[in-house]
């Protein structure tokens, strides 16, 4: 198991348990939890609190016949749901987004590639591929961004991030992550706002590449 030094903040784990995180962030949190015993323990604590609240909840009367109708379909086979297991460097939540397949990389220039996994109202999530020694061009954030390392590592002004580590960026963080020597760095990055890659390409081109 990798030694993880950069974790998900506790409040975000609580929000994940409650289901109030946007989907793209939930992907990153679930992926980090797939590596991290400490954060799974924190999740367990929040689930316990949620469970205690559920037990203390005020009861609401059910429609008559509801129980009978549930009992009647207990053994009806459910619609099978695909289960995506971890594969290679990708934890289960990423495999789910990839629907079990391999990433389909689109080049962004300078050897940097991306594969958009999800785009919705609450934000977007993508895989990023950054060759060793290559800088992810300086980008300012317009909102919150979570970056989880899946392979290799990167370093920036705030420290070094290895497999399982999460960097949390917001409006105040102007940084230049550079992939460390060794394997190319592959990350899962989620944001609740469009990223602005200030140095990589003119802003006009951004809608084209959906960055």
Partner 1 sequence: MVTVNLDKPPGRKALHGVSPGATAAVSNGKAFSQLTIWLLAIRDQRDRAAFGALFDHLAPRLKGFVMRSGASSALAEEIVQDVMLTIWRKASQFDPHKAQASAWIYQIARNRHIDIVRKEHRPVPDELSADPGLEPDASQILGLEQEAEQLKLAIQQLQPDQKEMIEKAYIGQLTHQEISSQTGLPLGTVKSRIRLGLGRLRKELKGLR
Place of tokens 């140095």: 199
Taking CB within 5 to 8 Å according to partner kind, which of Zn ion, partner 1, none is near residue 19? Answer: partner 1
Residue 74 binding: pick among partner 1, Zn ion, none (C-beta 5-8 Å cut-off by kind): partner 1
**190 touches 146 (CB < 8 A):** yes
47 binds partner 1 (CB under 8 A): yes
Given a contact cutoff of 8 angstroms between Cβ atoms, the answer to whether 164 and 148 are in contact is yes
- Residue 58 near which of partner 1, Zn ion, none (CB within 5-8 Å, type-dependent): partner 1
113 Rama sector, left if φ>0, alpha if ψ -120 to 50, beta otherwise: beta
Under rule CB under 8 A, residue 97 binds partner 1: yes
Nearest Cα residue to 152 out of 160, 162, 144: 162
Q: Which own/partner pairs from 201-207 qualify as long-range (CB within 8 Å, at least 24 positions apart)?
A: 201/109
What is the DSSP secondary structure assignment for residue 4, as one 8-state letter? Answer: -
Between CA 166 and CA 77, with CA 94 as vertex, the angle to 5 degrees is 135
Options 14, 21, 36, 211; binder of Zn ion; rule CB under 5 A = 36
Residues 3-32: x where in contact with Zn ion by CB under 5 A, - otherwise, as a string:
----x-------------------------
Q: How many residues bind to Zn ion according to rule CB under 5 A?
A: 4
Contact between 142 and partner 1 by CB under 8 A: the answer reads: no
7 binds, among partner 1, Zn ion, none (CB under 5 to 8 A by kind): Zn ion
What angle, rounded to 10 degrees, do the helices at 23-33 and 10-18 form? 110
Binding site for partner 1 (CB under 8 A): 1, 14-15, 17-20, 23, 26-27, 29-31, 33-35, 37, 40, 43-63, 66-67, 69-71, 73-74, 78, 81, 83, 85-86, 91-93, 96-97, 120
């Amino acid at each position: 198991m990798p030694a993880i030094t950069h974790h998900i903040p506790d409040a975000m784990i609580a929000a994940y348990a409650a289901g109030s995180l946007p989907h793209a962030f939930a992907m990153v949190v679930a992926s980090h939890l797939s590596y991290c015993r400490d954060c799974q323990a924190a999740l367990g604590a929040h689930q316990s609190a949620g469970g205690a609240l559920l037990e203390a909840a005020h009861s609401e009367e059910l429609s008559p016949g509801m129980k009978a109708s549930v009992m009647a379909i207990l053994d009806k086979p459910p619609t099978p749901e695909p289960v995506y297991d971890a594969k290679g460097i990708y934890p289960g939540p990423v495999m789910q987004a990839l629907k079990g397949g391999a990433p389909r990389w689109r080049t962004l220039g300078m050897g940097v590639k991306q594969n958009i996994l999800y785009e919705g109202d609450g934000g977007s999530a993508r895989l990023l591929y950054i060759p060793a020694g290559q800088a992810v061009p300086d980008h300012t954030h317009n909102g919150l961004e979570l970056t989880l390392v899946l392979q290799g590592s990167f370093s920036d002004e705030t420290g070094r991030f290895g497999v399982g580590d999460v960097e949390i960026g917001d409006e105040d963080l102007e940084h230049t992550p550079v992939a460390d020597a060794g394997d190319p760095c592959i990350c899962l990055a989620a944001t609740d706002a469009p990223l602005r890659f200030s140095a990589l390409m003119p802003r006009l081109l951004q809608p084209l590449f959906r960055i």
